Amino acid sequence: MKPLDGVTVVDFSQFLAGPYASLRLLDLGARVIKVENPDRGDLCRHHYVSDTRVEGESTLFHAINRGKESITLDLKTEAGRAAARTLVQAADVVIQNFRPGVIERLGLGYEAAAQLRPGLVYGSISGYGETGDWAGMPGQDLLAQARSGLMWLSGNADQGPVPVGLPIADIAAGACLAQGLLAALYRQARTGAGTHVQTSLLEALIDLQFEFLTTWMSNGRTPPQRMTEGSAHGYLAAPYGVYSARTGHLALAMTPMPALADVLGQPDLAALDGFRDREAIRARLQEIFAARDAAYWEARLAPQGIWCARVRGWDDMLAQGGPEVQDMLKPGGTLAQVAAPIRLDGRRPDPRPRGPALDEHGAALAREMGFAPPA
């Protein structure tokens, strides 16, 4: 259950992307030491996504930092930097997400860290890479979405840009970094060589769009076309999309029009072209689906091989999604928990109960590592 048991991660990152990567390593058994500044610590401690607080801090902080150890170091002081260097010497993995150039000025960039700890695996996340016109821009999720083109893929034709309603750039970049760090740890175990793993919010969002971007670059840069209503994929043929029913909504995935026309008893629909006649097909289907509830259509169409699903909320997902959903989502108590999305030999890593209090482990870590706790 703990394939990374014995791996120590020193995490200088804050907010979401870097801490998400270290969380994934923690779930696989790594020890994660979170280095925070003494002035209120990680910004995420005070970034409230609701009025729900746990031990005076954001639920978001606890979700992304559960099970980690916290030590505060003032990296603007020599004592703080000296303590940080000691931590690096004890690390297998270091993670940082400072703006480009900042970590180097602190004397803790990859080259300096690799001198302190030969064979070190070092992970860096930036907003837009280390060079180029955008390198110095704030690496924030919504801004990265805005610069990536992603906002033009959701929503309907008459809408403006529609952002993804969760920090998709942060989560995706953290997942990309974790993947690279795991590969580098494998290399480290085999050869002893270190690696600098780098990614950015922008690179992660490009990767999420690889299907669309490959198509766009290969077809004369013809952009995807959003539907007037229920748009779900700018390149796929009708009937792909979301339709309003008498009550609720019905999602239709890749379905041959002749098959759908036959099930619905509408033979003339089979003659329409899924690409050329997208809007006409959509209008006809919308009229049909509006006559009945979404639950009716799902019960009627799905058993006949039509790929469809009633649009559900979180309550329905939790109640009906099956044992794996129940195993991941653990409500109740002061702080609900979402466990890791992977299983090892049939078992899911148990989520830790909460994130650390600021500097909760500072004194113990200083004793273990052999340096005086910075004042």
- Measured between alpha carbons, how far is 360 from 357 in angstroms, rounded to an integer? 5
- Measured between alpha carbons, how far is 154 from 101 in angstroms, rounded to an integer? 35
Domain boundaries, the chain: 8-208+330-369, 249-310
Comparing 4-18, 39-53, 158-172, 336-350, the range with the smallest average pLDDT is: 39-53
Residue 236 pLDDT exceeds 80 = yes
Give me the pLDDT at residue 55, please.
79
Among candidate residues 70, 72, 76, 61, the one with its CA nearest the CA of residue 38: 72
- Measured between alpha carbons, how far is 141 from 254 in angstroms, rounded to an integer? 31
**For the residues 214-230, what does the mean pLDDT come to?**
94
Alpha helices in the chain (DSSP H): 17-27, 59-65, 78-89, 102-105, 110-116, 141-148, 168-191, 201-208, 210-218, 257-264, 278-289, 294-301, 314-320, 323-328, 362-369
User: Where residue 231 falls among pLDDT bands split at 50, 70, 90?
Assistant: very high
- Measured between alpha carbons, how far is 206 from 208 in angstroms, rounded to an integer? 5
Q: Which of 46, 47, 62, 233 is catalytic?
A: 233
Give me the pLDDT at residue 373, please.
79
User: Where residue 271 falls among pLDDT bands split at 50, 70, 90?
Assistant: very high
Among candidate residues 318, 319, 356, 322, the one with its CA nearest the CA of residue 338: 318
User: Where residue 318 falls among pLDDT bands split at 50, 70, 90?
Assistant: confident
Give me the pLDDT at residue 191, please.
98
Write the pLDDT tens digit of every residue in 52-105.
788 788 888 999 999 999 999 999 999 999 999 999 999 999 999 999 999 999
Write the pLDDT tens digit of every residue in 123-161.
999 999 999 999 999 999 999 999 999 999 999 999 999
Give me the pLDDT at residue 239, please.
96
Residue 351 pLDDT exceeds 90 = no
**Mutual orientation of helices 201-208 and 168-191 as an angle, nearest 10°?**
100
Q: Note whether 129 and 56 are within 8 A (CB).
A: no
User: Where residue 334 falls among pLDDT bands split at 50, 70, 90?
Assistant: confident
- Measured between alpha carbons, how far is 324 from 19 in angstroms, rounded to an integer? 25
| Cis preceding-peptide flag for 239 (omega within 30 of 0) | yes
Give me the pLDDT at residue 350, please.
85
Q: Note whether 82 and 116 are within 8 A (CB).
A: no
Residue count of the chain, please give it: 375
Per-residue DSSP letter, 121: E
Give me the pLDDT at residue 212, please.
94
User: Where residue 335 falls among pLDDT bands split at 50, 70, 90?
Assistant: confident
User: Where residue 10 falls among pLDDT bands split at 50, 70, 90?
Assistant: very high
Active site residue 233: yes
**What are residue 266's phi and psi, to 5 degrees?**
-125, 75
Write the pLDDT tens digit of every residue in 114-128.
999 999 999 999 999
Write the pLDDT tens digit of every residue in 173-211.
999 999 999 999 999 999 999 999 999 999 999 999 999
CATH class, domain 8-208+330-369, is alpha beta
pTM of the model as a whole: 0.91
Give me the pLDDT at residue 375, please.
63
Give me the pLDDT at residue 48, please.
67
Burial code (b: 16+ CB inside 10 Å, e: under 16) for 264-293 equals beeeebeebebeebbeebbebbbeebeeee
Among candidate residues 355, 311, 292, the one with its CA nearest the CA of residue 36: 355
The H or E element that residue 200 is part of is: strand 195-200
Q: Note whether 154 and 164 are within 8 A (CB).
A: yes
Q: In angstroms, how far is CA 259 from the centroid of its own chain?
A: 36
Tell me the C-alpha to C-alpha distance, in Å, between residue 70 and each of 8, 12, 170, 221.
13, 11, 21, 48
Give me the pLDDT at residue 94, please.
98
Q: Note whether 120 and 194 are within 8 A (CB).
A: yes
Per cent of the chain over pLDDT 90 is 85
For the chain, give the mean pLDDT: 94
Q: Which two tokens stand for residue 168?
A: 């998709």
